[in-house]
Amino acid sequence: MERIAVLGGGSWASALVKILSENKSQIHWWMRNKNDVQHLINFKHNPRYLSGVTFDLNYVKPSSDIQAVVSVADWVIIAVPAAFVQQALEELSGDAFKGKVIISAVKGMIPKENILISDYVERRYFVPNSHQLVVAGPCHAEEVALEKQSYLTIGSHDMNTAERFCELLRNRYVKANPLDDLDGIEYCAVIKNIIALACGISRGLNYGDNFQAVLVSNAMFEIERFLDAIMPLHRDLSGSAYLGDLLVTAYSQFSRNRTFGNMIGRGYTVKSAQVEMNMVAEGYYAVQSIFELNKKLGVSMPITNAVYHILYERISPAVEFEILKDKFK
């Protein structure tokens, strides 16, 4: 039986625990909130997220002790919002991940340091890229809870390890495939949240389907230019790990980033939108990281720039999108 640690108590962490535990892996599930852990033990469901999912405690072992959870696992999945990864892992020693495979299920970057989760894990915990994986693809947690057909891509520099993890994920409603583009998948997952924010803002401003289609198609060029500049590699960006993930995040009712952007477009302040959502929109933090990185790269990224100006420089969304719409083809 595979021993897997899942770090995080949110909806995506809950969805991954559901998938893996139903495949009879032993899941050691770390949640920071001790009351949530006790609730899970008593009632077999997460009180905050995907509360309709019942977990089999023969396979799921909840705990608020992160050191104990990590120490017994062979695989460690990080499923904490990027802005809180450092805080979540701060109790772990520098060699806590030694000999383990680390999987990032985080679609964001470490704020201020402006680095990917995989880069942070390598620098802070000395885990080489060959022992890291990235979970990507169009797969909302809410649809996993409903057991809708879903697709995951596991990015890695080691295809054998990626395939082994795919086997742990595959079931009647989840298909998983490996792909040898860990960095590209990770950056694309970050930027697509920024694009989803832009789509949400456009909806809040009453732009229609025609405009959003053009926005998304131009976004693919923006993503391609950025990836070519920061991590050049021959990629087919029409794949589900790239375009597929972007589309579901840009259009789905379950997209936090789209919802957050919609609120901004309708006139909410950043703070009021965050309070009302009570969930983390990764794109809010990601746009600052990508904007700062791009100061050195000098890539043409009009959508990213527009979202940054709106969220961090408090430029009117209506004014910014009047400028943006003239840059599209």
Q: What is the amino acid identity at position 64? A: S
- Annotated catalytic residue 296: no
Contacts of 305 (CB under 8 A, 6+ apart): 291
- Per residue in 36-54, pLDDT (tens digit) is 999 999 999 999 999 999 9
Active-site residue (options: 18, 100, 107, 192): 192
Positive/negative CA dihedral, 73, 75, 77, 78: positive
Tell me 306's DSSP state.
Answer: H
Helix axis angle for 256-265 and 282-297, nearest 10°, is 80
Residue pair 42/103 in contact by the 8 Å Cβ criterion: no
In 143-233, the DSSP E strands lie at 150-156, 174-179
pLDDT one digit per residue (tens) for the chain, 329 residues: 899 999 999 999 999 999 999 999 999 999 999 999 999 999 999 999 999 999 999 999 999 999 999 999 999 999 999 999 999 999 999 999 999 999 999 999 999 999 999 999 999 999 999 999 999 999 999 999 999 999 999 999 999 999 999 999 999 999 999 999 999 999 999 999 999 999 999 999 999 999 999 999 999 999 999 999 999 988 999 999 999 999 999 999 899 999 999 999 999 999 999 999 877 899 999 999 999 999 999 999 999 999 999 999 999 999 999 999 999 98
Taking Cα atoms as reference points, which of 62, 133, 134, 126 lies closest to residue 97? 126
pTM: 0.95
3-state secondary structure of 128: coil
Please say whether the beta carbons of 110 and 86 come within 8 A: yes
In the prediction, which pLDDT does 278 show?
Answer: 79
- Cα–Cα distance for residue pair 326/180, rounded to 1 Å: 37
CA nearest 133: which of 202, 213, 79, 93? 79
Half-sphere exposure of 254 (CA within 13 A, CB side): 16
